[in-house]
Amino acid sequence: VASNKRFEERAKIAVNPMATKLFNLMASKKTNLAVAADLTNKQEILNLAESIGSEICVLKTHIDIIEDYDQTFISALEAIASKHNFLIFEDRKFADIGNTVKYQFENGVYQISKWAHMVTVHGVAGSAIIEGFKDGLKQNGSGLLLLAQMSSKGSMCVGEYTNQMIEMANNNKEQVMGLICQERLQSMTDNLVLMTPGVQFNSTGDKMGQQYNTPEYIIKEKNTDIIIVGRGIYQNSQPKTEAIKYRAASWNAYESKNFN
């Protein structure tokens, strides 16, 4: 199922403000590459962000794997993000009841709602989970990414569950900016951003269930919008050179689509 609209057109029909911002950012910066900075030391993440920041639209974090975390990390990352014009995505995968996720989003050590432009949410608890984010999202006009499919072997986010997640997104567009998925399905409307992890050139998977596809396959054949690349870039001896390759592959795949 192809989307025949360019990112700049989709920016105009998006409802969530961060979806509009990301579509416009991709169109102007000409990149649909997101990098997963899964490093456990804050300086390593900042060094990576500084070196590849010019190539990406989004930097994805797992804030709770950082061993020396403190709030200086956030201000340093925000400075690099505004210098290089990318957005910050905390892949927290919230999954509890609304009242609990509100605390997890706004409070605790990380105070995610203060700095994350987007966060991931599982729908397993039901659509009322979205109520827990409403206050926090208003702080920065941020957006939710619902987990419609996962890249890992044996994922249970399939079939009717996937359909329910798409419906949850379509019913809550003020809060939901997009979906994490492995393919564009018919019901995924053009005002949602589709982001896909499990992307690498030189590997088909790891020993813990991850499964990889190439940028061309995901963007051109599976028709999603953004690739998320982790180890393929940060474990390379030259992350910047490698990021340039992934950026070119995913952008060229986007440009090769038939738009009207």
Binding-site residues from annotation for substrate: 38, 60, 151, 210, 230-231
Which residue of 19, 25, 36, 137 would you call a contact of ligand 5BU, by CB under 6 A? 36
Is 91 marked active-site? Answer: yes
Q: Taking Cα atoms as reference points, which of 107, 108, 186, 162 lies closest to residue 139?
A: 107
> Which of 93, 114, 173, 245 is flagged as catalytic?
93
Residue 68 falls in the annotated catalytic set: no
User: Of 68-76, 125-133, 192-200, 239-247, which part binds ligand 5BU (CB under 6 A)?
Assistant: 192-200
**What is the residue whose two structure tokens read 């962000």?**
49
96 is annotated as an active-site residue: yes
Please say whether the beta carbons of 57 and 33 come within 8 A: yes
Told to check if 232 binds ligand 5BU by CB under 6 A, we report: yes
Classify residue 126 by burial, with Cβ atoms within 10 Å: 0-12, 13-18, 19+: exposed
Check residue 209 and give left, alpha or beta (phi > 0: left; psi -120 to 50: alpha): left
Stretch that binds ligand 5BU, among 5-13, 99-107, 135-143, 193-201 (CB under 6 A): 193-201
Q: C-alpha distances in angstroms, 83 versus 37, 53, 78?
A: 18, 8, 9
**Does residue 150 bind ligand 5BU (CB under 6 A)?**
yes
Q: How far is CA 242 from its chain centroid?
A: 19
Instruction: Please choose, out of 74-82, 101-109, 195-203, 252-260, the segment that lies near ligand 5BU by the rule CB under 6 A.
Output: 195-203
- 7: three-class secondary structure by DSSP: helix
63-122 positions binding ligand 5BU, by CB under 6 A: 91
Q: Which residues bind ligand 5BU (CB under 6 A)?
A: 36, 38, 62, 91, 147, 150-152, 180, 197-198, 200, 210, 228-232
